[in-house]
């Protein structure tokens, strides 16, 4: 008899994964929505077109001075934006990750750190020519990644979170921006450096020399290329805006951290560059040297040369520097030029536009930075200010038309305030009045920007609620299916037409949605499909529950389950429920280890033999060991201030020895027990070890090391393919080897510094696996489905899998993600499959642990002498299926809790810093766990003998 239900189990798991992931996708689309982008473009009317009465195309043709004309225009409140009369040229030098304190100079500092006192030219210039030079703190808005910062700099707006996902495939800017403003007017812009600019704003450049920017380990190529061109460019006169983007400092920060000799070298180079710029600068060019963001604050320690990453919203990441120099002198008085004043990055776009004689870009929320604009008469200043106010008023009006994000009352209030402020310009004549007026404008603009910042994540609450509902449906009914329906009935369910009819129902749904879409009766096809399939699946499982109601009530009335089982379930729900609190998310590593240890402790207490207690103690010891590898995030305080960020993965000698030792130990012990597959594991392990050994330290050979890593991957992939070779010995061996291969993959991407953590994770899983078969079964010593497949096992496994995300040194923060894992075997961007390989490597790097634990879930049922392995194939499959589904459910519950907490806290202060990253990482873990469980279940189904014995 062939087993019909064999593949139905797998299909059902796929179905369940689809339900969860599609609902999460829908939630993400609703939750991570960006602000509305308007396609408006700022227009201005040249001053010559105005008559002396201040009206456009006026009939009165009397000669008059510009001042009078501007006064008239200002007095007429309905006038359009006027193109500013004076025009300069601008050289915008962007030094990526130029933090403000890099530019400070303290001559009393006898032993400066590697990033201190390296840019003396800035302070010298400011002191020598207080009129010509300015140095300000240039505050970035989170998220502080380069793409978002460039967008913000050119549009003057606040970038939103969702743009973050497009960092690797930068798309063209859809909004009005500085470059468009000047290019449309026939002026010319030149680009040198980072190609992100060219990808954001293609085909706008008069000349461009854009260079690939994601070789984060390459500190010099881009900088040298820019240097080779920029001095020639400065001599040329055909451009109006020169953009040069240097990457070296950022890359040095990413690779070595700020406190490293390489950083000192890059900063010294920058210093020399700025000196040469100031010398070579033509008279009419304003030089802006800016940083787009800072980098995380760290102090180098002995073993851990810590990181200089960015992406988050800490003060150090947000504080960049703005250095401006203009040979003819800037406007502004003592208070304006104060060294280190805080200015917003949004202010750059209107300022550069004004310097080039253009109105601010349409979406700009910035404020004119008069202290870095050339000195000009009062009327011209007023003209610039009123242009700025008019543009913002227009934007407010237009935004109010397009979106209801800001309440109309508040919007009307802001519009009235800006209009009133425009009218006030006519009463300004003297410098003190002007000063007061400028500060009023600044306050008003701050208010406008604050109002937008407050609401600028427009959530699609309907999609979010629907997604939550779908998640709840899937989780609830599947929970009843796994916990309620008696185990004996499940094979009948799956050999019946339940799964095929479910698939047919889904197909009908999808085709129905496509039909409706064809007739244009629904707006969002994707959401319609997800919603209808989700609801239909919910209905199907509900039907299943109803038909088995008798069995369910019988099972539930039969009495309470074991205490450890109830506790394990509670622990899992607790681990999900605490995701509502930011403190627990920050300390989640400790919490998960605490819960996992307690659950296993109760299992061991249930067995209550010396051996089980010792195993428990060993498990606890392993957890304590992983503690030292746990990462540290800024919110944790203690560890952060004592300087333990995440290390860059540059292994110390001790770490290398540990890594080699752990891998060698694992393969030496494992290879004897896994038969012929052991050879593959050994070869892959040797490749991995030699990869680290050869690449270590300054004497290592990076190219050979990369070759060895590629060899290791080749062996791992080949062995993975060989897992599907049937040898008729049951599924346990292939599953164990699968786990070992995933372990090796993990060690490879984690790098030598963190490789031992993968070994510890493997060990902790192994110990837990050995406690499980000892559990007392009622009466006989025979295999008991209710004991071995109880939800406590799945919960324990899920807690472990979630814990080892932290145990391998990760943290749920976007700023701390290191990209080194992508490059350990060479840069995949040079290969034809670059992007998929990078994505896969990052996925394994971040979520390798849920993947590994997911793939080994079936072992919980099969492991041990009294495991299911000795039983009939049907029982084996049943046990494995129910465990896999329970494991997947655990992760679904956690994702649901994350989504719920993100919904609850959508206006929380820490929503972008804590809750959203947690949601993203939890979704990643869930995906990995589902994928892993699927791999494990498929492996089992593949290797289980498909013929039921005749007896």
- The footprint of another protein (CB under 8 A) covers 563, 581-584, 586-587, 590-591, 593-594, 597-598, 608-609, 617, 620-621, 623-624, 627, 635
> Please, which residue, 469 or 590, has the CB nearer to another protein?
590
Contact present, 138 and 345 (Cβ < 8 Å) = yes
Q: How far apart are CA 184 and CA 191, in angstroms?
A: 16
* Residue whose CB is less far from another protein, 617 or 657: 617
Which residues are CB-neighbours of 624 under 8 A, at least 6 positions away? Answer: none
Report the 3 state secondary structure along 581-615.
CHHHHHCHHHHHHHHHHHHHHHHHHHHCCHHHHHH
Smaller CB separation from another protein, 413 or 609: 609
User: Which residues, including other chains, have CB under 8 Å from residue 248's CB and lie 6 or more apart?
Assistant: 96, 219, 220, 222, 223, 266, 269, 270
Q: How far is CA 881 from CA 331, 492, 514, 791, in A?
A: 74, 14, 33, 12
* Shortest distance (Å) from residue 618 CB to another protein: 10
**Residue 917 CB, nearest approach to another protein (Å):** 17
CB atoms near residue 65 (< 10 Å): 10
Cβ contact 205:198 at 8 Å: yes
CB of 234 to another protein, least distance (A): 51
Find the shortest distance in angstroms from Cβ 901 to another protein. 15
DSSP assigned state of 430:
S
Nearest distance, CB of residue 704 and another protein, angstroms: 39
Q: In this complex, which beta carbon is closest to another protein, that of residue 353 or of residue 591?
A: 591
Q: How far is the CB of 486 from another protein (least distance, A)?
A: 25
Nearest distance in Å: CB 889, another protein: 25
d(CA 320, CA 229): 25
Number of H helices, E strands in the chain: 36, 8
Q: Which of 172, 162, 167 is CA-nearest to residue 145? A: 167
Tell me the C-alpha to C-alpha distance, in Å, between residue 611 and each of 607, 771, 775. 9, 9, 12
Q: Which is nearer to another protein, 415 or 768 (CB)?
A: 768
Nearer to another protein, 327 or 620 (CB): 620
**In terms of CB distance, is 382 or 632 closer to another protein?**
632
> What span, in angstroms and rounded, lies between the C-alpha atoms of 59 and 52?
9
- Residue 870 CB, nearest approach to another protein (Å): 28
CB of 169 to another protein, least distance (A): 37
Q: Give the nearer residue to another protein in terms of CB position, either 58 or 636.
A: 636
Chain centre distance of CA 531: 27
Alpha helix segments (H runs only) across 696-825: 702-722, 732-750, 755-771, 785-788, 791-807, 820-823
Distances 629 to 207, 561, 644, 802, 858 between C-alpha atoms, Å: 49, 37, 10, 15, 28
- The β-bridge relationship of strands 89-95 and 241-246 is parallel
**Residue 617: CB minimum distance to another protein, A:** 7
Kindly state the tokens that stand for 287: 């030089």
For another protein, give the closer residue by CB, 291 or 601: 601
Min dist. Cβ of residue 584 to another protein (A): 6
The single residue listed with the structure tokens 């947000």 is: 318
Of the pair 274, 623, the CB lying nearest another protein is at: 623
Residue whose CB is less far from another protein, 76 or 594: 594
Contacts of 622 (CB under 8 A, 6+ apart): 760, 763, 764, 767
Closest distance between another protein and the C-beta of residue 591, in Å?
7
**Count of other CB atoms within 10 angstroms of residue 827:** 18
Q: Which is nearer to another protein, 522 or 577 (CB)?
A: 577
Q: Which residues contact 524 (CB under 8 A, 6 or more apart)?
A: none
The least distance separating another protein from the CB of residue 174, rounded to whole angstroms, comes to: 40
Residue among 44 and 796 whose Cβ is closer to another protein: 796
Structure tokens at 49: 């077109």
State the minimum distance, in angstroms, from the CB of residue 628 to another protein.
9
User: Nearest approach, Cβ of 751 to another protein (angstroms)?
Assistant: 25
* C-beta closer to another protein: residue 117 or 626: 626
Question: What would the DSSP string read from start to end of 13-58?
Answer: HHHHHHHHHHHHHHHHHHHS--PPPP------B-GGGB-TTS-BT-
Kindly state the smallest distance separating residue 636's Cβ from another protein, in Å: 10
Nearer to another protein among residue 105 and residue 616 (C-beta): 616
Residue closer to another protein by CB (options 746, 764) is 764
Return the number of the residue (343 or 571) whose C-beta is nearest another protein.
571
Radius of gyration of the chain (CA): 32
- Residue 357 has which token pair? 């004689």
Return d(Cα 429, Cα 753) in angstroms, integer: 66
Residue number, 370 or 623, with CB nearest to another protein: 623
How many Cβ atoms sit within 10 Å of the Cβ of residue 393?
A: 20
Sign of CA dihedral 479, 485, 486, 491: negative
Shortest distance, position 897 Cβ to another protein, whole Å: 17
Pairing of strands 133-139, 319-326: antiparallel
Provide the minimum distance between the beta carbon of 613 and another protein in the complex, in angstroms, as a whole number.
Answer: 9
**Euclidean distance between CA atoms 361 and 366, whole angstroms:** 10
Neighbours of 237 (CB within 10 A): 10
State the CB neighbour count (10 A cutoff) for residue 559.
6
């Amino acid at each position: 008899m062939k087993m019909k239900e064999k593949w139905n189990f797998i299909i059902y798991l796929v179905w369940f994964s689809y339900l969860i992931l599609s609902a999460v996708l829908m939630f993400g689309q609703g939750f991570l929505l960006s602000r509305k982008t308007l396609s408006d473009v700022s227009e201005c009317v040249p001053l010559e077109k105005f008559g002396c009465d201040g009206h456009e195309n006026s009939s009165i043709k009397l000669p008059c001075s510009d001042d009078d004309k501007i006064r008239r225009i200002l007095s007429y409140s309905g006038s359009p934006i006027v193109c500013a009369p004076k025009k300069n040229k601008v050289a915008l030098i962007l030094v990526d990750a130029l933090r403000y304190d890099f530019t400070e100079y303290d001559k009393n500092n006898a032993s400066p750190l590697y990033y201190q006192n390296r840019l003396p030219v800035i302070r010298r210039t400011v002191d020598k020519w207080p009129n010509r030079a300015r140095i300000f703190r240039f505050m970035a808005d989170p998220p502080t990644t380069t793409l978002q910062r460039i967008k913000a700099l050119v549009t003057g707006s606040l970038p939103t979170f969702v743009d973050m996902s497009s960092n690797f495939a930068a798309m063209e800017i859809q909004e009005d921006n500085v470059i468009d403003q000047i290019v449309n007017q026939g002026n010319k812009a030149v680009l040198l450096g980072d190609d992100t600019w060219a990808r954001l704003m293609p085909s706008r450049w008069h000349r461009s020399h854009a260079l690939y920017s994601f070789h984060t380990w390459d500190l010099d190529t881009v900088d040298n290329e820019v240097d080779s061109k920029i001095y020639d460019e400065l001599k040329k006169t055909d451009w109006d805006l020169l953009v040069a983007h240097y990457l070296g400092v950022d890359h040095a920060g990413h690779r070595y951290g700020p406190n490293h000799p390489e950083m000192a070298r890059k900063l010294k180079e920058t210093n020399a560059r700025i000196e040469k710029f100031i010398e070579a600068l033509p008279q009419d060019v304003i030089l802006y040297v800016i940083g787009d963001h800072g980098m995380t604050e760290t102090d180098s320690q002995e073993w851990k040369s810590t990181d200089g990453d960015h992406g988050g919203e800490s003060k150090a990441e947000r504080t960049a520097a703005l250095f401006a120099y203009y040979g003819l002198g800037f406007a502004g008085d003592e208070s304006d030029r104060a060294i280190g004043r805080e200015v917003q990055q949004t202010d750059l776009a209107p300022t550069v536009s004004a310097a080039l004689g253009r109105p601010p870009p349409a979406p700009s929320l910035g404020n004119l930075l008069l202290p870095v604009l050339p000195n000009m008469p009062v009327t011209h200043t007023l003209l610039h200010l009123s242009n700025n106010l008019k543009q913002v008023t227009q934007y407010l009006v237009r935004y109010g038309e397009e979106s209801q994000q800001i309440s109309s009352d508040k919007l009307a209030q802001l519009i009235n305030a800006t209009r009133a402020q425009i009218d006030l310009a006519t009463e300004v004549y003297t410098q003190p009045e002007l000063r007061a007026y400028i500060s009023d404008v600044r306050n008003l603009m701050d208010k406008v920007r604050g109002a937008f910042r407050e609401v600028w994540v427009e959530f699609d609450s309907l999609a979010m609620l629907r997604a939550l509902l779908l998640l709840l449906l899937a989780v609830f009914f599947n929970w009843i299916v796994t916990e309620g329906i008696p185990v004996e009935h499940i094979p009948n369910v799956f050999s019946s037409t339940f799964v095929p009819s479910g698939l047919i129902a889904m197909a009908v749904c999808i085709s129905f949605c496509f039909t409706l879409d064809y007739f244009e009766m629904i707006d969002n096809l994707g959401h319609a499909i997800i919603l209808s399939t989700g609801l239909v699946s919910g209905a199907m499982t509900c039907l299943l529950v109803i038909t088995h109601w008798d069995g369910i009530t019988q099972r539930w009335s039969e009495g309470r389950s074991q205490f450890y089982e109830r506790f394990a379930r509670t622990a899992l729900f607790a681990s999900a429920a605490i995701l509502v609190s930011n403190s627990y998310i920050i300390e989640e590593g400790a919490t998960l280890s605490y819960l996992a240890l307690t659950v296993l402790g109760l299992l061991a207490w249930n067995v209550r033999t010396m051996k089980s207690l010792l195993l428990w103690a060993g498990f606890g010891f392993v957890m304590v060991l992983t503690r030292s590898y746990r990462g540290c995030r800024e919110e944790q305080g203690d560890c952060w201030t004592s300087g333990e960020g995440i290390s860059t993965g540059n292994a110390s000698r001790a770490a290398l020895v540990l890594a080699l030792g752990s891998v060698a130990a694992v393969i030496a012990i494992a290879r004897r027990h896994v038969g012929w597959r052991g050879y593959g594991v050994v070869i892959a392990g040797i490749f991995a070890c030699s990869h680290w050994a050869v690449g270590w330290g300054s004497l290592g050979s990076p190219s050979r090391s990369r070759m060895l890593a590629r060899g290791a991957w080749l062996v791992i992939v080949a062995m993975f393919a060989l897992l599907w070779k049937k040898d008729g010995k049951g599924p346990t061996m292939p599953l164990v080897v699968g786990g070992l291969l995933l372990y090796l993959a993990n060690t490879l991407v984690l790098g030598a510094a963190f490789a031992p953590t993968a070994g510890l994770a493997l060990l902790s899983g192994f110990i837990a696996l050995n406690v499980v078969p000892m559990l007392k079964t009622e009466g006989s010593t025979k295999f008991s489905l209710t004991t071995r497949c109880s939800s406590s096992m799945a919960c324990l496994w899920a807690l472990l899998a979630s814990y080892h995300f932290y145990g391998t040194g990760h943290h749920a923060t976007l700023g701390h993600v290191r990209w080194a894992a992508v490059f350990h075997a060479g840069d995949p961007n040079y290969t034809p499959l670059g992007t998929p390989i990078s994505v896969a490597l990052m996925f394994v790097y971040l979520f390798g642990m849920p993947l590994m634990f997911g793939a080994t879930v079936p072992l919980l049922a099969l492991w041990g002498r009294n495991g299911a392995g000795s039983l009939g194939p049907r029982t084996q499959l049943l046990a494995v299926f129910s465990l896999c589904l329970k494991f997947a459910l655990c992760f679904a519950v956690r994702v649901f809790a994350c989504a719920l907490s993100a919904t609850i806290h959508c206006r929380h202060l820490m929503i972008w810093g804590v809750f959203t990253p947690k949601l993203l990482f939890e979704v990643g873990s869930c995906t990995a766990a589902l994928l892993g469980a699927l791999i494990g279940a498929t492996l089992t189904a593949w290797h289980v003998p498909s013929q039921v014995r005749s007896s």
